[in-house]
Amino acid sequence: MQRDLKILFNVFCLCCFWLQVFSQEESPEEHHDIPEPMIFDLVRELGAKQGELEVNVLAEFPLSSIASRHIDWAPEIEYAIWDNFAVEFELPFEDAKLEALKTALQYTFGKSGCGRYIHGTQFMVEKFRKLDKWD
């Protein structure tokens, strides 16, 4: 299990490096001034341009309960493969234990003529290790 975790971490780091080096383009792009919703995490901003990359780690831990001091955290990579089409890979952990494998696809249909709203769709799949089922 520990060896698998190290291999997974190394693959994650290698992917981050590869995406960072080979995908960034310097060009002025159109930017939508429509905020991302706070309730639901989008893969990338709707209307993402090809080559946009985000690598981050989400983390949650209890502040009040000392008895349950485990940390839920999830490194993730979000990448726009083409204009308006992005993918996300996420690895949810509880402490050092991998809980699931999660991937998502997002497509942007377009924004309104007045530029006040934008439409898109997402498809997410999560494979839980404990339950051995897809969600």
pLDDT band at 40 (very low <50, low <70, confident <90, very high): low
Query: Does position 39 have pLDDT exceeding 60, yes or no?
Result: no
Are 80 and 54 spatial neighbours (Cβ–Cβ below 8 Å)?
no
pLDDT band at 4 (very low <50, low <70, confident <90, very high): low
The H-or-E segment that residue 17 falls in is: helix 2-23
* Cα atoms in the 13 Å half-sphere on the side-chain side of 101: 8
